[in-house]
């Protein structure tokens, strides 16, 4: 997690000489835990869930922290197999939504460009 990056404490990461960082996180995730980027590295945003979050139905997986704070609300929204269905729907959007496909296209395009490397890409949970 780059919000905890301390190049002085982690000389291995500092020695990589990162030139490009691709961040697949949502706006909220980036706001909650902003990356610490090595000097000289450029940041590219590829919000994989942008289409999902901008749709009429925000996935419960993104709201999980709020939902779990109240057991009655959690049961209402996640009980009876709804949690599994919501997570499956969210995970499918990781590959079939336009925003996800655009993010991965950017990753592959940048990875193919020798001038972009060393390149690091990340999300919040490592999916």
pLDDT in tens, 22-68: 999 989 889 999 999 988 999 999 999 888 776 545 544 556 677 77
In angstroms, the CA 101 to CA 108 distance is 11
Mean pLDDT of the chain: 86
**127 inside domain:** no
Distances (CA, A) of 54 to 19, 57, 63: 30, 8, 14
**54 inside domain:** yes
In angstroms, the CA 78 to CA 74 distance is 5
Which pLDDT value is given to residue 59? 47
Contact 30, 3 (CB under 8 A): no
**CB-based contacts of 57: which residues, under 8 Å, 6+ apart?**
none
Number of domains in the chain: 1
Among candidates 40, 36, 48, 47, which has minimal Cα distance to 20?
A: 40
**75 inside domain:** yes
**69 inside domain:** yes
Structural domain containing residue 87: 2-122
Instruction: Identify the DSSP state of 55.
Output: S
């Amino acid at each position: 997690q780059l919000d905890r990056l301390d190049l002085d404490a982690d000389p291995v990461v500092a020695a990589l000489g990162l030139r490009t960082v691709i961040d697949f996180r949502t706006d909220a995730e980036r706001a909650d835990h902003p990356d610490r980027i090595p000097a000289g590295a450029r940041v590219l945003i590829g919000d994989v869930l942008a289409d999902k979050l901008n749709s009429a139905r925000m996935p419960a997986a993104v709201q999980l922290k709020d939902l779990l704070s109240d057991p009655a609300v959690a049961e209402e929204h996640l009980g009876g197999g709804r949690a599994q269905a919501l997570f499956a729907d969210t995970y499918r959007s990781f590959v079939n939504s336009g925003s996800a496909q655009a993010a991965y296209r950017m990753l592959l395009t940048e990875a193919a460009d020798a001038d972009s490397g060393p390149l690091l890409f990340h999300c919040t949970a490592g999916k």
